[in-house]
């Protein structure tokens, strides 16, 4: 087959993004929101996103398909060649509407344009062999095989076979797009812009996007609608439910990108909020995003684990940095860069943040600790370790909080009944991916001793 002379804008952009990720230079979520991607036509932008996320989700099985066709299956391939092979293999085995000649020819051309002309013949030969190969049958075994074995083994041990299968299926799907609307009139505004919404699965302020590009609307640009997973929104709602009108000081310990900070500000209009962020660029983006309520927010460039205030806040939200294993559907590359030994490093950082959170909250005040991790080392084991060092705090069950949110209409319909089974024995809330149409989250409530 003679390779084509040109490569479509979508495939070229997908190739460069996947190459940057393979080299460890950046993450998919940031790269897919870059200026070069936004400059593409809507069709090319959609195809580029499909290619990038599809390759990352199925990368383990893609490699298993094409490597046996190499003369030396275990040979180390240059990143450019590896990415070209993955792109071509994904299109051939997963995308029905992509012509075979385009999937093969443009993958070959990408390798050549990346300076790997010597490998063009090999890329061409391997992809041609795959062109007639059977596609994957989407069985539980296939979903499990798309994840590192060590992750699947852990989830099976901790949550059971059925839950592990659900987690893995969720990791291979594009998660539902949820938004938060500032007020009901925004829904009419979005409808006029061609956006079709459905009620949220958990929260009254949330909506599920059925069709349309929310990010292209004036309401999105002005902040009247925000894209945010319902589980993420729920964390801030839980924090706000444990704060009354006489408690006016809040610390958002790890505030960027700011979605939860905004909910805290909206739900507590009288409160003063300190939003901490250790990265200067992220803090600046946070400041711009929260400009509408900046008079009530102190933006502080600080490593929260080094804060020196004692008993200064009524509420601390510690949404800590974590492995992110609850978000593999949204951030599929995590499975390729995370290793089991990384969990101990995350846990050390998380314990340091939680210690400070307990110290900085006043007696009788509350700490909400949360992660988007499925791993006990980052969740209940962090809390147990910190509480074993001090008698200054105790865990509270979130059962009463869930009931209060139902009474106040924060949770929709009978969602409280669905959340109660997600409570752990210690009263923390564990949302497993796919169970309630959310990413995976862990949320715990602590009270400082009076």
pLDDT for the residue 1:
46
Sign of the CA dihedral with 232 first, then 235, 241, and 246 last:
negative
Report if residue 77 sits inside a domain: yes
Q: Which single residue is written with the structure tokens 């490597």?
A: 67
Do 399 and 250 share a structural domain? yes
Report if residue 375 sits inside a domain: yes
Q: What is the pTM of this model?
A: 0.94
Do 298 and 372 share a structural domain? yes
Q: How far is CA 161 from CA 102, 158, 171, 379, 442, in A?
A: 40, 9, 15, 21, 20
Do 167 and 122 share a structural domain? no
Report if residue 1 sits inside a domain: no
What would the two tokens of residue 299 be? 């933006």
Do 208 and 162 share a structural domain? no
pLDDT for the residue 71:
92
Do 110 and 30 share a structural domain? yes
Report if residue 436 sits inside a domain: yes
Residue 316 sits at φ, ψ, to 5 deg, of -125, 125
pLDDT for the residue 247:
64
CB contact at 8 A, 94 and 135: yes
Do 153 and 130 share a structural domain? no
Do 240 and 208 share a structural domain? no
Q: What is the DSSP string of 85-154?
A: HHHHHHHHHH-TTS-HHHHHHHHHHHHHHTT-GGGHHHHHHHHHHHHTSPPPP--HHHHHHTS-HHHHHH
Share of the chain above pLDDT 70, in %: 98
Report if residue 41 sits inside a domain: yes
How many domains does one find in the chain?
A: 4
Which structural domain range is residue 155 located in? 141-171
pLDDT for the residue 6:
84
What would the two tokens of residue 271 be? 């409160």
Residue 123 sits at φ, ψ, to 5 deg, of -60, -45
CB contact at 8 A, 260 and 317: yes
Do 276 and 208 share a structural domain? no
pLDDT for the residue 326:
97
Do 404 and 261 share a structural domain? yes
List the CATH number of the domain containing 192.
Answer: 3.30.70
Tens digits of per-residue pLDDT, 18-63? 999 999 988 999 899 899 999 999 899 999 999 999 999 999 999 9
Report if residue 4 sits inside a domain: no
List the CATH number of the domain containing 100.
Answer: 1.10.940.10
Share of the chain above pLDDT 90, in %: 83
Q: Which residues of the chain have pLDDT under 70?
A: 1-5, 245-247
Do 320 and 392 share a structural domain? yes
List the CATH number of the domain containing 289.
Answer: 3.40.50.150
Report if residue 66 sits inside a domain: yes
Report if residue 98 sits inside a domain: yes
Do 432 and 323 share a structural domain? yes
Do 148 and 129 share a structural domain? no
Cα distance between residue 54 and residue 171, in whole Å:
11
pLDDT for the residue 4:
46
Cα distance between residue 398 and residue 143, in whole Å:
33
């Amino acid at each position: 087959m003679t390779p084509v002379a040109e490569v479509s804008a979508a495939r070229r952009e997908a190739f460069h993004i996947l190459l940057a990720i393979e080299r460890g230079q950046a993450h998919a979520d940031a790269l897919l929101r870059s200026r070069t991607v936004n400059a593409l036509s809507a069709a090319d932008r959609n195809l580029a996103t499909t290619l990038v996320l599809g390759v990352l989700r199925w990368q383990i099985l893609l490699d298993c398909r094409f490597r046996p066709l190499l003369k030396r299956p275990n040979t180390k391939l240059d990143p450019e060649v590896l990415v070209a092979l993955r792109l071509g293999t994904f299109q051939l085995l997963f995308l029905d509407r992509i012509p075979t000649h385009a999937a093969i020819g443009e993958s070959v051309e990408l390798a050549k344009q990346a300076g790997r002309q010597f490998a063009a013949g090999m890329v061409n030969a391997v992809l041609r062999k795959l062109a007639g190969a059977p596609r994957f049958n989407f069985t539980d075994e296939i979903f499990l095989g798309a994840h590192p074995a060590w992750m699947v083994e852990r989830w099976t041990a901790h949550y059971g076979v059925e839950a592990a299968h659900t987690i893995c299926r969720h990791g291979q799907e594009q998660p539902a797009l949820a938004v938060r609307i500032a007020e009901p009139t925004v829904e009419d505004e979005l409808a006029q812009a061609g956006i079709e919404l459905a009620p949220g699965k958990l929260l009254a302020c949330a909506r599920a996007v059925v069709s349309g590009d929310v990010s292209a609307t004036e309401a999105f640009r002005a902040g009247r609608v925000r894209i945010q997973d319902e589980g993420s929104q729920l964390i801030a709602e839980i924090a706000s439910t444990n704060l009354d009108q006489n408690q006016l000081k809040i610390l958002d310990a790890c505030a960027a990108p700011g979605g939860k900070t905004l909910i805290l500000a909206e739900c507590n209009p009288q409160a003063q909020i300190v939003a901490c962020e250790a990265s200067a660029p992220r803090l600046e983006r946070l400041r711009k995003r929260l400009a509408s309520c900046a008079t009530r927010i102190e933006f502080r460039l600080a490593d929260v684990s080094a804060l020196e205030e004692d008993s200064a806040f009524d509420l601390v939200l510690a949404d800590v940095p974590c492995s992110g294993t609850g978000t593999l559907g949204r951030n599929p590359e995590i499975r390729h860069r995370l290793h089991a030994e990384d969990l101990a490093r995350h846990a050390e950082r998380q314990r340091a943040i939680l210690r400070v959170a307990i110290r900085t909250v006043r007696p009788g005040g509350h700490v909400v600790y949360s992660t988007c991790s499925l791993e006990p080392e980052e969740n209940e084991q962090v809390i147990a370790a910190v509480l074993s060092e001090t008698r200054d705090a105790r865990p509270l069950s979130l059962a009463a909080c869930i009931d209060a949110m139902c009474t106040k209409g924060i949770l929709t319909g009978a969602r409280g009944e669905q959340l109660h089974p997600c409570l752990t024995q210690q009263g923390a809330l564990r949302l497993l991916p796919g169970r309630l149409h959310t990413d995976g989250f862990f949320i715990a409530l602590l009270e400082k001793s009076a």
